[in-house]
Structure 1
Amino acid sequence: MKASEVSKLTGLPVSTLRFYERKQLIPEQFISRDENNYRVYHEGVIGFLEDVKTLLTVSFTIQEIILLINENENFYIEKKALVMEKIQQIQELEAKLQTSKTFLADVLEGKANFQTPCRSMDTTV
Structure 2
Amino acid sequence: MGFAEGEYHLATTQGDRVRLWSARSITGLKNARPATIWEKGRGVWAAEFHELEYQGRKRWFCYFTKTDGADERHRMFAMASKTGSIKGPYETPWQLRTDADDRDYAIDGTVMELGGNLYFLWAG
For normalisation by structure 1, the TM-score amounts to: 0.21
- Tell which structure's C-alpha radius of gyration is larger: 1
Larger strand share, 1 or 2: 2
For normalisation by structure 2, the TM-score amounts to: 0.21
